[in-house]
Structure 1
Amino acid sequence: MSEILNRLPEFIGNHPFLSLGFIGVLAALIASEVARVTRGYKALTPGGLTQLINRNNALLIDVSSIQDYEQGHVAGARHVAMSQFDPENKDLAKARELPVAIYCKNGQTSATAAKRLKKAGFTDVYTLDGGLRSWTEAQLPLAKGRNNSK
Structure 2
Amino acid sequence: MQELLQFATAHPLLIAALGAAVLAIIANEVHGSLTGGKKLPPAEAVRLINDRDARVVDVRPVADFKKGHLLGAVNIPHDKLKARLTELEKDKSKPLIVYCALGGTARESALLLKQAGFAEVYPLAGGLNAWVGASLPVTAK
Give the TM-score category using the shorter length: 0.7 to 0.9
Q: Kindly tell me: are residues 82 and 18 of structure 1, through their superposed partners in 2, closer, same or farther at Cα, counting changes over 3 Å?
A: closer
Q: Which residue of 1 aligns with 2:5?
A: none
Instruction: Specify the code of the residue in structure 1 equivalent to 2:74.
Output: R
Q: Kindly tell me: are residues 122 and 68 of structure 1, through their superposed partners in 2, closer, same or farther at Cα, counting changes over 3 Å?
A: same
Does the CA-based 8 Å contact 2:62-2:75 persist in structure 1? yes
Instruction: Specify the code of the residue in structure 2 equivalent to 1:127.
Output: P
Q: Which residue of 1 aligns with 2:119?
A: 123
Q: Which residue of 1 aligns with 2:3?
A: none
Q: Kindly tell me: are residues 20 and 57 of structure 1, through their superposed partners in 2, closer, same or farther at Cα, counting changes over 3 Å?
A: same
Aligned partner (choices 42, 49, 54) of residue 58 of structure 1: 54
Secondary structure of the residue aligned to 1:142 is coil
Instruction: Specify the code of the residue in structure 2 equivalent to 1:140.
Output: L
Number of aligned pairs? 137
Q: Which residue of 2 aligns with 1:104?
A: 100
Does the CA-based 8 Å contact 1:87-1:120 persist in structure 2? no
Structure 1 runs not aligned, ≥5 long: 1-11, 146-150
Please give the alpha-carbon distance, in whole angstroms, between the structure 2 residues aligned to 1:118 and 1:32.
20
Q: Which residue of 1 aligns with 2:90?
A: 94
After superposing on structure 2, the runs of 4+ consecutive aligned residues of structure 1 that deviate more than 6 Å are: 12-15
Deviation at 1:91, TM superposition (A): 3.0
Q: Which residue of 2 aligns with 1:8?
A: none
Please give the alpha-carbon distance, in whole angstroms, between the structure 1 residues aligned to 2:74 and 2:25.
35
Q: Kindly tell me: are residues 125 and 131 of structure 1, through their superposed partners in 2, closer, same or farther at Cα, counting changes over 3 Å?
A: same
Please give the alpha-carbon distance, in whole angstroms, between the structure 1 residues aligned to 2:138 and 2:9.
57
Q: Kindly tell me: are residues 84 and 14 of structure 1, through their superposed partners in 2, closer, same or farther at Cα, counting changes over 3 Å?
A: closer
Instruction: Specify the code of the residue in structure 2 equivalent to 1:93.
Output: E
Instruction: Select between 16-25 and 131-140 the one with higher mean Cα deviation.
Output: 16-25
Deviation at 1:20, TM superposition (A): 4.1
Q: Kindly tell me: are residues 83 and 24 of structure 1, through their superposed partners in 2, closer, same or farther at Cα, counting changes over 3 Å?
A: closer
Secondary structure of the residue aligned to 2:123 is strand
Secondary structure of the residue aligned to 2:33 is helix
Does the CA-based 8 Å contact 2:36-2:107 persist in structure 1? no
Which one has a bigger Cα radius of gyration? 1
The TM-score normalised by the length of structure 2 is 0.78
Instruction: Select between 16-25 and 33-42 the one with higher mean Cα deviation.
Output: 16-25
Identity %: 34
Secondary structure of the residue aligned to 1:61 is strand
